[in-house]
Chain A
Amino acid sequence: MQKILVGLKRVVDYNVRVRVKSDGSGVETDGVKMSINPFDEIALEEALRIKERGEAEEVIVVSVGASEAQQQLRTGLAMGADRAILVDSQESLTPLDVARIFKAIVDRESAELVILGKQAIDGDNSQLGQMLAAIWGRPQATFASKVELAGNKASVTREVDAGLETIEIDLPGVISVDLRLNEPRYVKLPDIMKAKKKPLDQLSIEELGVEVAAGIKEVTYEPPSERERGVMVDDVAGLVAALKDKGLV
C-alpha cells in the first residue's frame, strides 16, 4: 500500500498527577509535561514496522489541535514517520469533528490504512477510530494486539473482555491499537536532527472543507470523591477478624 496515516494526540503526560482547576473549567495544564498519547506511540510504531517490512511506502503523522502539537509531531518524525500534518485549531473539538477532519485527510492523501490509539488518556472517550470508520464506510478493527497484512486484507487480533478475538477486514480500513501490540522504539539524537528537515504541513479546518458542529457541552470539571485511608492490621488473624467483622467472609 502507499500511505498509512497515524494520529498523534498531545496529552498531559501519563505520569503527571492530574488536578482539576479550581474554577472547574478543566484540568491544570500550565507547566505540566505534555507528551504523545501513549497508545498513539504504539500506533506509530506499528505503522513504521509495516513500512520497514516493505508493506507500505509512506507513514504520515497527523495531529489536530493547538500549534504546540508540533512538538509531538516532530517526535513522531524522529521516530521515523516521513512527514507530518498539523490541523490547527484552538477550539475544543468533539471526536465527531476530529473524525470528519481525519476523513478529509484520508481523501486528500488517498490513504489506505489509518492506525490510531484505542483511546486518548485525557478524554478517555475511545471513539475516534470507530467514528472515522463509520463516516468512511470502511471496516474498523479496534483494540488490536496483533496485526497481519496480506494484500488488501488485514487479520487483526483484538483484546476483548472475553479474551482474544480475531477478525479479518478488507482495506482500506481503520485499526485502533491496544497496549500489548508492540513496544515503541526510543528516539535517538541523530534522528531528532534529521526530523527537523522533514516536512510538517499546517492546514486549517476550513481548508479541509470540514464544518465543525456544536456537540456535547462540557459543563464543569470536578475532582473525584476520594476514598479514605482505612485501618492497618498486624497479621493475617487481624485481617480475618476485620473481614468477619464486615461480614465479608
Chain B
Amino acid sequence: MSKILVIAEHDGSSLNPSTAKTVACAASIEAAEIHVVVLAAAAAAVAGEAAQLDSVAKVLTVEGPENEHALAAVLAPQIVALSAGYSHVFGPSTTFGKDLMPRVAALLGVNQISDIMLVLTSHSFKRPVYAGNAILTVEAPADKVVVATVRIASYAAVADGNNAAIESATVDAELPDHTRFVGVQSGATDRPDLQTAAKVVSGGRALGSAESFDIIYALADKLGAGVGASRAAVDAGYVPNEMQVGQTGKIIAPDLYLAIGISGAIQHLTGIKDAGTIVAINKDEEAPIFEVADIGLVADLFKAIPELTEALD
C-alpha cells in the first residue's frame, strides 16, 4: 500500500486549486492513503478546505510564523521531517512546487520526478520532456521514497464533500534564516485564474500593443474567461509575465482555449495541448496554430474579435 503526503499550496487564506489536482494524481495510485499537509502561519482556513477534498484521509497542519511565506529553504527541512513513514511525497508542478520539491528530494538523498502526467504503477510514471515533444516513462526505485511534482494540467480536481480529520503536527527541524521574503507584486485581477479557468482567451504579438489587448479582455469578460498570452506578447511588454502560456510559462488545460493572433510556436502549443477545444483566429492561414486548432478562422483580429464579442450577447 502507498502512503502519500501531498504538500498543500496556498496563499495563507485559501487553498490553491493545484492541490486538488495533485490529490487527484495521488488518488490514481492503487490503494493509496493520502494525507495533505498545510504549512502556514495560521492553517485553520486552508486546512478546512483541504479536509473537504475527496480521497484525503487526513490533513496535517504545521503552524508557525516562519511558515507565513512559502520559502523553499524553510519549508523543505520540515517536509523532510514529516516524510518519515510515507512512500510518496507529492507537490504541484507550479512555481511553488517546482521551487520546493527538488530541495526536499535532495535533502532526502533521492531524485525527483518532474511533471507526472500519468500514473502507471506506484513507482512508474509518464512525464513530458523536450517541451512535450516526447513522453518519457520513468521508474523510481522501489526501496526509496518517491518525491515528485504533478503536472496539474493533466488532472481534474477531486470533488469536494469529504470531511477528513485535521491534526496538528509538530516537526523537529532546524530552519535556516539565510532566505527572507521581501514582497510580492501581483497583477491580480477579478478574472478567473489562468491555471484553473474553464475558458481562456490568449493574445499574441499580432495585437501590436498593450492598449489593443483591451479587445482580448473585453472578449474574455464576455465569456467569463481567464486571459493569457504568448511569450512574444509578454516579451514585447503588452502584458505581465504571469500571463505567459507555454513551455516556460503556464501549462493549462481549459475546456475552451481561444488563441488570438498567436502563430503557434511549438513552445506555446506545449502549454495548451490538453485543452478541450482550441479555437484559432489568425490573419495568416499558414500559421502553425491551425494544425492543432479544432476550429480555425482566418481573419483580421481587429475586426473579428469585436464582432465576436458582440455576437456573444
Q: Is the CB of A165 within 8 A of B137?
A: no
Q: Which residue of B lies closest to A19 (CB)?
A: B133
Minimum CB–CB distance for A193 against chain B, Å: 32
Measured in the bound complex, the distance between the Cα atoms of B281 and A214 in whole Å is 48
Measured in the bound complex, the distance between the Cα atoms of B275 and A230 in whole Å is 14
Q: Is the CB of B134 within 8 A of A143?
A: no
* In the A-B complex, the 6 residue pairs with the closest CB atoms: A163-B186, A230-B294, A134-B106, A130-B102, A131-B106, A127-B102
User: Does any Cβ of A come within 8 Å of B114's Cβ?
Assistant: yes
Interface centre among B140, B199, B277 (most CB of A within 10 A): B277
Minimum CB–CB distance for B69 against chain A, Å: 8
Chain B residue numbers with a CB within 8 Å of A128 are 102
Q: Which residues of A contact B (CB under 8 A)?
A: 12, 17-20, 27, 94-96, 99, 118-119, 121-128, 130-135, 137-143, 145, 155, 158-170, 173, 178-180, 214-224, 227, 229-240, 242-243, 246, 248-249
Chain B 122-139 interface mask (CB, 8 Å, partner A; 1/0): 001000111111111111
Chain A residue numbers with a CB within 8 Å of B133 are 17-20, 27, 223-224
Chain A residue numbers with a CB within 8 Å of B176 are 137, 139
Q: Which of B103, B131, B240, B296 contacts A131 (CB 8 A)?
A: B103
Given A20-B134, A122-B129, does the pair A240, B293 have CB atoms closer than 8 Å? no
Q: Is the CB of A96 within 8 A of B134?
A: no
Minimum CB–CB distance for A132 against chain B, Å: 8
User: Does any Cβ of A come within 8 Å of B34's Cβ?
Assistant: no
List B residues 215-266 near A (Cβ within 8 Å). 223, 231, 234-235, 240-242, 247-248, 250, 255-256, 266
Chain A residue numbers with a CB within 8 Å of B137 are 218-222
Q: Which of B11, B141, B279 contacts A215 (CB 8 A)?
A: B141
Q: Which of B250, B295, B304 contacts A243 (CB 8 A)?
A: B295
* 7 new A-B contacts at CB < 8 Å, known A217-B140, A239-B281: A17-B266, A121-B130, A122-B129, A140-B73, A162-B184, A229-B292, A240-B312
Q: Is the CB of B138 within 8 A of A139?
A: no
Q: Which residue of B lies closest to A103 (CB)?
A: B106
Pairs across A and B, CB under 8 Å, 14 listed: A96-B110, A96-B112, A130-B99, A133-B103, A142-B95, A159-B95, A163-B184, A163-B186, A163-B240, A164-B184, A180-B235, A216-B141, A218-B136, A239-B279
Measured in the bound complex, the distance between the Cα atoms of B71 and A170 in whole Å is 14
User: Does any Cβ of A come within 8 Å of B187's Cβ?
Assistant: yes
Q: Which residues of B contact A (CB under 8 A)?
A: 11, 71-73, 76, 94-96, 98-107, 109-115, 124, 128-141, 176, 178-188, 195, 199, 223, 231, 234-235, 240-242, 247-248, 250, 255-256, 266, 273, 277-279, 281, 290-299, 304, 307-308, 311-312
Chain B residue numbers with a CB within 8 Å of A20 are 133-134
Chain A residue numbers with a CB within 8 Å of B311 are 236-237, 240
Q: Which residue of B lies closest to A242 (CB)?
A: B295
Given A162-B242, A167-B182, A168-B182, does the pair A216, B113 have CB atoms closer than 8 Å? yes
Minimum CB–CB distance for A94 against chain B, Å: 5
Q: Is the CB of A131 within 8 A of B105?
A: yes
Chain A residue numbers with a CB within 8 Å of B98 are 126, 142
Chain B residue numbers with a CB within 8 Å of A229 are 290-293
Q: Is the CB of B304 within 8 A of A236?
A: yes
Chain A residue numbers with a CB within 8 Å of B131 are 18, 121, 124
Minimum CB–CB distance for A20 against chain B, Å: 5
Chain A residue numbers with a CB within 8 Å of B115 are 124
Minimum CB–CB distance for A228 against chain B, Å: 8
Chain B residue numbers with a CB within 8 Å of A234 are 297
Chain B residue numbers with a CB within 8 Å of A137 are 176
Interface centre among B181, B248, B293, B294 (most CB of A within 10 A): B248
Q: Which of B76, B179, B199, B294 contacts A169 (CB 8 A)?
A: B179
Q: Is the CB of A135 within 8 A of B106?
A: yes
Measured in the bound complex, the distance between the Cα atoms of B179 and A37 in whole Å is 28
Q: Which of B101, B110, B255 contacts A248 (CB 8 A)?
A: B255
Q: Is the CB of B179 within 8 A of A18?
A: no
Measured in the bound complex, the distance between the Cα atoms of B247 and A231 in whole Å is 26
Minimum CB–CB distance for A148 against chain B, Å: 11
Minimum CB–CB distance for A170 against chain B, Å: 4
Q: Is the CB of A249 within 8 A of B72?
A: no
Chain B residue numbers with a CB within 8 Å of A95 are 102, 111-112
Chain B residue numbers with a CB within 8 Å of A141 are 179
Minimum CB–CB distance for A135 against chain B, Å: 5
Q: Is the CB of B178 within 8 A of A170?
A: yes
Minimum CB–CB distance for B31 against chain A, Å: 22
